[in-house]
Chains A and B, each alone.
Chain A
Amino acid sequence: MINVALQIAEEKIFCSGHHACPGCNEALAFRYIMNTLGKDTIAVVPPSCGAIISGPQPLSSMRIPVYQTTLEASAASAAGIKRALKAQGKDHVQVVAIAGDGGTYDIGFQALSSAAERNEDIIYICMDNEGYMNTGAQKSSSTPYLAYTTSTPGGKPTAKKNVAEIMAAHRIPYMATATTGYLDDLANKVRKAKEIKGMRFIVILVPCLDGWGVADNEGAKVSRLAVQTGFFPLYEVENGTKYTLNHGSEGIPVAAYINRQKRFRHLAPEQVESIQQRVDADWEIFKTKFNS
């Protein structure tokens, strides 16, 4: 049973009437991020689904200031706002950048890496739906191996970039992965990030119903399968060294995960098997990071 009640305050920072698609898991993630961070927060959002969900001008779904910046500049903008707040003596205000995987893995990566290297006092959240879903489902460097996108009609030939490990390698105070099927875990990680100073990074896997070809009601279920099959383990890394595994592979075959998504429906059985082998190999390497 989820125990979100014990972990979050329903402050209603995020409100109804937003323009996310029916069943959108990104909107669900927004609800728990914003309500956990609370009203003393300024958000920075680059072009993305998040910009649609938090906007559109002159209306907003977030009862806090939201600054819509350029696609490259989320981390830099957030760092600047935080420094300005500090100069004004308003250090208690959190600044959170919420970007998509395009704005994180690809276009915003330089600004993000530099902000991490400088250990800027911001929270950076990547809403990872594994592609440029807002513009019609093009491939990003987060798109998984063999997934269909409109720019990889035969399936993406290369692997998904491992942004979690890249960010952990910056030795930032806090790096975590989360997903919508585990809402209490997600809310808990946002709350933990809120209590830490310095650069904090959370990548949240948010199934895109339309872009992945998932049924409107199954986003959370599919996100859970990503975890249970070992596709996307949920873990935390503190200071680049201290690893904690929250939810990992339960040995469920990856077919259970990919069969529920139309972006994988072109795959031949041996291709499914090759995905399974990659996931198994990754999981074996990954396991060695935990001292337990």
Chain B
Amino acid sequence: MPEVTKVPPVWTTGWTDILNTGTWRSATPGHQNRLSPCQTACPVGAEIAVWVKQAKEGQYQEAWLTLAANNPFPAVTGRVCHHPCEGSCNRGEYDAAVTINALEQFIADLALQEGWSLPAPADKRDMRVAVIGGGPAGLSCAYQLRMAGAEVTVFEAQPELGGVLRYGIPAYRLSKEIVAGEIKRLLAAGIKVQTNVKVDAQKLAELQKEYSAVCIAIGAPKAKLPPPFSGNEPGVLNGLQFLLDVNRAQVPELGQHVLVIGGGSVAMDVARTARRLGKEVQVMSLEDRQSMPAQEEEVLEAFEEGIVLLDGAMVQEKVKENNRFKLTCVKVTLDATAPAGVFKPIVQPGTEFNLVADTVIVAAGQDPELADFSASLPVNNNLLTVDANQNTGQAGIFACGDVASNERFVSMAIGAGKRAARRIEAFCLGRQPGDGAAAETEPVAYKEINTFYFPMTPRKEKEVLNPELRQQDFREVKLAFAASDAQTQAERCFSCGHCIQCDNCFYYCPDMAIIKDAMSEPSYSILDQYCKGCGLCVEECPRGVIVLKEVKR
């Protein structure tokens, strides 16, 4: 019987891992953080995918700091932002957009409750800036400059800071404690304030001498008066002035029947405020219901509160009788060929109707008050003219917000303030502005999302107070999320273009050519020796973080 020889422990002469299958490759995958569509759409350029991810992980304070880096008023915008982010959310093409606005409110309210403070400003640098106007644009600009180490003074005409946040938007949409809380926290960063100071041409010249740069952010407080109404007429009120008075608890005499003229957010604010004062309210807008500039949900909420809308109509004649207006009105269509911002109503003959009103409140748009500046600064179309750098053309004088733009949204103003601050910083330090802007790339598209990894989950809206309760007083109409809602809604975020270390790329590689190292950034690297460039990791990345690039040899 032959002796049993020992079986060799290794049956081959080696393993395939000495081979270089990477030489087959014609394309290489690479991990990179990419822009999410919500961030591209955001007026303040907030890193939404980042803070929602932090919220998803329960890191609420970090999430708030990310929010606050671009916007000192997240509790304000969490309530009143028109949230274009949600309109561009990739998840909207799948089941329903992520409730970004409600999440923002949840995190920002938590910050106020917990008393989290803003990070310390950068070390002092040689920048002294005067900001004229303490509304959202001016304060945003002041905040960004202060954080960059500037010495900033804000000049405000009213007794208190806040502009439209305090004196315009009614409390049922934006609680005044919230506004006060966020402004107080902002001022703690060391911004100087002079209230009750109206800056005129002479004062502007002084500021120009005293400061290295001036930013004009005085808003647009002057009501447009469509015919047949004129200023200083008894029974005719200016919408903004009305909101200001109510916000200061100085309610004017209105009578029982109120007609509001205008189709934008201010008209809705005025109508719903008058309704809360117990009045019968009708709103008349030149635009028809579909093209009214007011946000859809405001209009729906106004209807629920019993407000009547007369869309596509205007007042032709007015007669005052027994202290009441007798109004002859007519249905109109708008001339679509008119240039943007210009209204050319076309009367539809035979559609005349009559109305009676005790008070008419005009809220048909606002213009800036430019009498003091038009001599020294360029004005066009009732706006201060600025270039892409928010510069007025005069060295060191910048402008932002409603005074220089027709995009009349709070978050647009905050975004413009931030942009102006970056330019002012560059101006003061003698640098070229506009560095960061060139790096912008296309955001992650819906087709780059692998929806297999995202089970459909319902979107939850903010709860809305019932219409009866709403009409009783000025309590907030929209209710903040509970913590559990915030968590489940944050988890709906695709995190487009932002790696959350799900390891899918690692697991789906047939060649084991991806290694993970949670400590490094990005957390994965490609093994050149083995990667065959198939792109399976690119396809299986749920969120479009991996990009395949052609190999040039």
Contacts and interface: CB of A to CB of B under 8 A. Distances in A.
A65 interface: yes
Contacts of B502: 1
Contacts of B512: 12, 14-16, 31
B510 A15 contact: no
Interface string B1-34: 0000000000111111111110011000000000
B538 interface: yes
Contacts, number: 109
B130 to A, nearest CB: 52
A22 B532 contact: yes
B533 to A, nearest CB: 6
A15 B12 CA distance: 14
A240 to B, nearest CB: 32
B23 to A, nearest CB: 11
B503 interface: yes
A273 to B, nearest CB: 26
Interface string A2-16: 101100000010111
A181 B450 CA distance: 12
Contact of B534 (A183, A217, A224): A217
Contacts of B510: 20, 23-25, 27-28, 31
Nearest to B25: A22
Nearest to B532: A22
A211 to B, nearest CB: 16
Q: How large is the interface on A (under 10, 10 to 19, 20 to 34, 35 or more residues)?
A: 35 or more
Contacts of B539: 217-218, 220-221
A21 B17 CA distance: 16
B540 interface: yes
B187 interface: no
B540 A1 contact: no
B453 interface: yes
A223 B535 CA distance: 16
Contacts of A21: 532
B301 interface: no
B87 to A, nearest CB: 27
A220 B536 contact: yes
Interface of B is mostly: loop
B527 A220 contact: no
A22 B24 contact: yes
Contacts of B535: 23, 216-217
A16 B17 contact: yes
Interface in B485-543: 502-504, 507-513, 527, 529-530, 532-536, 538-540, 542
Nearest to B527: A16
Given A24-B510, A217-B539, A220-B536, A17 B14 contact: no
A131 interface: no
B530 A16 contact: yes
Nearest to A183: B507
A181 B539 CA distance: 12
A58 B17 CA distance: 13
A164 to B, nearest CB: 23
A17 B21 contact: yes
Nearest to B512: A16
B17 A216 contact: no
A218 B534 CA distance: 9
Contact of B536 (A1, A18, A58, A219): A219
A170 interface: no
A60 B19 CA distance: 11
A17 B15 contact: yes
B19 A59 contact: yes
Contact of A59 (B15, B504, B527, B538): B15
Interface in A58-105: 58-61, 63, 65-66
Interface string A23-66: 11101100100000000000000000000000001111101011
A65 B535 CA distance: 31
Contacts of A23: 510, 532, 534-536
A134 B542 CA distance: 32
Candidate in B17, B453, B510, B539 with the most chain A CB atoms within 10 angstroms: B510
Contact of B15 (A27, A28, A61, A183): A61
A156 interface: no
A260 to B, nearest CB: 12
Given A22-B534, A217-B534, A59 B508 contact: no
Given A217-B538, A218-B539, A59 B511 contact: no
A16 B511 CA distance: 5
Contacts of B508: 28, 183, 220
A18 B511 CA distance: 7
A15 B21 CA distance: 12
A24 B530 CA distance: 14
B13 A58 contact: yes
B530 A17 contact: yes
Nearest to A65: B11
B451 to A, nearest CB: 11
Nearest to B504: A2
A188 to B, nearest CB: 14
A220 B20 contact: no
A171 interface: no
Contacts of A27: 510-511
A60 B12 contact: yes
A59 B532 contact: no
A191 to B, nearest CB: 15
Interface string A204-219: 0000000000001111
B9 to A, nearest CB: 10
14 contacts: A14-B512, A17-B17, A17-B21, A19-B16, A19-B21, A20-B511, A22-B24, A24-B534, A60-B15, A61-B16, A63-B15, A65-B11, A216-B535, A220-B508
Given A23-B536, A59-B12, 13 more contacts: A2-B504, A15-B17, A17-B16, A17-B18, A17-B529, A19-B16, A22-B25, A23-B534, A59-B14, A60-B16, A217-B535, A220-B508, A221-B450
Interface of A: 1-2, 4-5, 12, 14-25, 27-28, 31, 57-61, 63, 65-66, 181, 183, 216-221, 224
For the complex of A and B, 6 pairs with smallest distance between CB atoms: A23-B534, A217-B535, A22-B532, A17-B19, A17-B16, A22-B534
